[in-house]
């Protein structure tokens, strides 16, 4: 795993189309920014040269499997070098709307060797500190695309591909991967992401002590107000160890999908 900074935190929000990723990225970024964290968000495919090719292909017709996989790799390589690594190295929180897990799922759904693609992704690119997979039935995803966004599903969004991609997402099983029911309300999904993030990577990277400043016996850092994580935790309105206040504002313009 890439580790140039002990402070940089990489987060990926994943799932099939229509799962609610973009909304949750926006809400997480807003909450952390309001608490004083330096945060950027980005997306894949990017708007760069290679990402633009992929975005056009979603409307005009997908590339061949080999061409598509290679283009995703080119786009991600540029993304990592020009944006992700520099911001991680400066100690920021980087939140991604899709990352290499989507490549594994969507190219796997087309017939690529899932194990081989997974190995290449984990070898070539930084592994996130936390991955939140929002799980919804493809029927729900397509309904949200058509009704909530008012868009026609593109070539990546046909039901058969989404069923297979969802199955691959659901087979992913690593310590940093958290699966969340995307049918829950926007606020409940956000609450669960916040809880996992605050008591997971944020604690690991910002707490003054390895065992945590919520330890019942060693509390000098939190009593003195010198634990950055404990102070952030309070600002983020965490109620108890595992719950987050639902009073966090919903970013204007965000929809259910």
**β-bridge partners, 178:** 132
78 and 50 in contact (C-beta within 8 Å)? yes
Q: Identify the H or E element spanning 97.
A: strand 93-97
Give the model's pLDDT for residue 251: 37
Where does the pLDDT of residue 253 fall: very low under 50, low under 70, confident under 90, or very high at 90 and above? very low
* pLDDT score of 159: 82
pTM of the predicted structure, to 2 decimals: 0.84
pLDDT band, very low/low/confident/very high, at 250 (cuts 50, 70, 90)? very low
**pLDDT of residue 1 exceeding 60:** no
pLDDT score of 158 = 75
pLDDT at res. 160: 83
Give residue 242's pLDDT band: very low, low, confident or very high (50, 70, 90): very low
64, pLDDT greater than 70: yes
230/223 Cα distance (integer angstroms)? 10
φ, ψ of residue 76 in degrees (nearest 5): -70, -40
pLDDT tens per residue across span 5-57: 579 999 999 999 999 999 999 999 999 999 999 999 999 999 999 999 999 99
| Structural domain boundaries in the chain | 9-198, 210-244
**What is d(CA 115, CA 131) in angstroms, rounded to the nearest whole number?**
19
Instruction: Give the 3-state secondary structure of residue 170.
Output: helix
Average pLDDT, rounded, for the chain: 85
Q: Which two tokens stand for residue 162?
A: 């989404």
pLDDT in tens, 171-196: 999 999 999 999 999 999 999 999 99
Q: Which of 23, 77, 18 is nearest to 45 (CA)?
A: 77
CATH topology of domain 9-198: Rossmann fold (3.40.50)
C-alpha neighbours within 13 Å on the C-beta side of residue 200: 19
- Helix (DSSP H) and strand (DSSP E) numbers for the chain: 12, 7
179: left (phi over 0), alpha (psi -120 to 50) or beta: beta
pLDDT, tens only, 75-90: 999 999 999 999 999 9
pLDDT digits (tens, 9 = 90+) for 100-142: 999 999 999 999 999 999 999 999 999 999 999 999 999 998 8
Rounded Cα–Cα distance for residues 203 and 206 (Å)? 5
Q: What is the pLDDT of residues 193-229, one digit of tens each?
A: 999 999 999 999 988 766 666 665 555 555 556 788 8
In this prediction, residue 143 has a pLDDT band, given cuts at 50, 70 and 90, of: confident
Residue 256 has pLDDT above 80, yes or no: no
For residues 251 and 98, the model is more confident at 98
Token couple for 194: 């916040």
């Amino acid at each position: 795993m890439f580790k140039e900074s002990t402070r940089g935190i990489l987060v990926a929000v994943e799932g099939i189309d229509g799962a609610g990723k973009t909304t949750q990225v926006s809400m997480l970024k807003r909450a952390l920014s309001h608490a004083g964290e330096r945060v950027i968000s980005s997306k894949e495919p990017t708007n760069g040269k290679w990402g633009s090719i992929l975005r056009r292909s979603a409307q005009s017709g997908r590339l061949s499997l080999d061409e598509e996989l290679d283009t995703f790799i080119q786009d991600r390589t540029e993304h990592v070098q020009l944006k992700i690594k520099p911001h991680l190295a400066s100690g920021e929180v980087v939140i991604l709307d899709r990352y290499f897990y989507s490549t594994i799922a969507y190219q796997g759904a087309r017939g690529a060797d899932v194990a081989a693609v997974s190995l290449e992704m984990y070898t070539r690119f930084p592994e996130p500190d936390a991955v939140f997979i929002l799980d919804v039935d493809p029927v729900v995803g397509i309904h949200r695309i058509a009704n909530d966004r008012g868009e026609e599903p593109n070539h990546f969004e046909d039901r058969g591909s989404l069923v297979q991609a969802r199955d691959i997402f659901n087979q992913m099983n690593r310590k940093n991967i958290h699966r969340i029911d995307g049918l829950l309300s926007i606020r409940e999904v956000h609450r669960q992401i916040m809880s996992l993030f605050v008591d997971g990577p944020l604690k690991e990277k910002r707490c003054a002590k390895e065992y945590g400043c919520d330890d019942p016996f060693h509390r000098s850092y939190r009593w003195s107000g010198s634990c950055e994580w404990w102070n952030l935790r309070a600002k983020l309105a965490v109620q108890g160890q595992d719950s987050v206040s639902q009073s966090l504002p919903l970013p204007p313009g965000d929809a259910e999908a």
